[in-house]
Amino acid sequence: MATTLARWLGTLTPQALGTLLSRRPEALAPPSPRDLADLAGRLQGRLGVLRAYEAMTLPAVQLVEVLLAFQCDSRPELAELVGSEGLDEVLRLLAEHALVWEFDGRLGLAGELTSAHRQPLRLGPGVAALLDQWTAAELRGLAAALGLEVPAAKREVVGELAARFADGEWVRALAATAPTGAEALLDRMAWQNPGWIGVSSPPEDAVERPDAEAERWLTRHGLLHVDKLRLLTMPREVAVALRGSEWRPPFDHRRPRPRLEQLDMRVERFLALPQFQQCEFVGSVDALEHLELQAACILARLLAAFGKCLGEFSPLAGDGVELYDETDCGHDCSSR
């Protein structure tokens, strides 16, 4: 991914590259990068990527989630999901921070962003990725349970089954034939959590849970997948189908800029503390008024962490701001 980023960096004008580096100054830390490949590697650094991502607006975060959830490779694929209105502006913002870029008609995404969303849009992996882990015999058994005739080659079977599950109407029709107890489980996993601990095999003399049969039916028909640890996973295509034909990934590109006065007051109370006036990090708050709400909240948590290291953090406590532990501060405060 860094190679694609380096090639994209080579297409930027000096002004555009200067804008990017002003957004990501950590990439120019000594020693200076030797070439574009070195610069691309620095821009992919975990800490820099996550710090830049924390300052993104809500539409930018929503767009990243869509890219991660649906593995979109191009702008047309992305526009098909969220629409074209406002898309260019948000992609430009992400590109200015080297979080998302477009080169040769393909979209690139900073790899470290995957750690920011374990389950983007609360969707699981694609059905093809899950079926790739099945044996040829298991795939034939799934096709037989669905009443499908499939080719002999495993790759072709996976492609045929994936195409079926990508058909929302077909998935909803299949789910409608599930036994009693399946509807609640499907609804919960489609909207709340694509991963769930399944029903363990009970002892011979134990009474089986009522939803155990429904679970077995769902796994036998591919609506849920189960691993050796009994973790149930709902494929992304199944969840999207069960959310309904009208569901679309959220993309609030018209969301107004938030007001920061209330947060400013809390931070000002903190900065007024005599203990904080001696802290070398006081200059880091000068740009607060230029930050979006997300970045301001992160800054407030960092200020709380610094204050905790200095022995005072009460002005921010109780205001709904989560305090980091001292180990999360990122600076050596042991000498203070």
The Cα–Cα gap between 70 and 201 comes to: 34
Question: Is 319 a member of any domain?
Answer: yes
Question: Is 335 a member of any domain?
Answer: no
* Domain boundary pick from 118, 153, 172: 118
16 and 55 share one domain: yes
Q: What is the pLDDT of residues 270-325, one digit of tens each?
A: 555 554 444 444 444 443 444 444 455 556 666 655 554 544 433 333 333 333 33
Q: What is the pLDDT of residues 88-103, one digit of tens each?
A: 999 999 999 999 999 9
Token pair for 241? 């189908």
Answer yes or no: are the C-beta atoms of 315 and 288 closer than 8 Å: no
Q: What is the pLDDT of residues 42-57, one digit of tens each?
A: 999 999 999 999 889 8
Question: Is 170 a member of any domain?
Answer: yes
Q: Please give the pLDDT value at position 15.
A: 92
Averaged pLDDT for residues 169-182: 93
Answer yes or no: are the C-beta atoms of 82 and 249 closer than 8 Å: yes
227 and 270 share one domain: no
pLDDT at 173 over 80: yes
Question: Is 247 a member of any domain?
Answer: no
Question: Is 184 a member of any domain?
Answer: yes
Averaged pLDDT for residues 98-119: 92
Query: Please, is 273 exposed, middle or buried when counting C-beta atoms within 10 Å of its C-beta (0-12, 13-18, 19+)?
Result: middle
pLDDT band with cut points at 50, 70 and 90 for residue 328: very low
Residue ranges of alpha helices (H) inside the chain are 2-9, 14-23, 36-43, 46-54, 58-70, 75-82, 87-96, 127-131, 136-145, 154-165, 168-176, 182-191, 212-220, 236-242, 261-271, 274-277, 293-310
pLDDT band with cut points at 50, 70 and 90 for residue 194: confident
Residue 168 or residue 278, greater confidence:
168
Per the structure, the complete domain to which residue 51 belongs is given by 2-118
% of the chain with per-residue pLDDT over 90: 53
Question: Is 252 a member of any domain?
Answer: no
* Domain boundary pick from 213, 242, 271: 242
9 and 83 share one domain: yes
Choose among 176, 145, 150: nearest CA to 163. Answer: 150
109 and 216 share one domain: no
Question: DSSP letters along 231-247, please?
Answer: EEE--HHHHHHHT-TT-
Q: Given the structure tokens 């089954």, which residue do they identify?
A: 161
Q: Please give the pLDDT value at position 213.
A: 86
Question: Is 287 a member of any domain?
Answer: yes
* Total count of domains within the chain: 3
Q: Given the structure tokens 């609640």, which residue do they identify?
A: 184
pLDDT at 2 over 70: no
**pTM score > 0.75 for this model?**
no
Choose among 182, 124, 178: nearest CA to 146. Answer: 178
Q: Please give the pLDDT value at position 118.
A: 84
Q: Given the structure tokens 């995957």, which residue do they identify?
A: 114
92 and 146 share one domain: no
pLDDT at 255 over 90: no
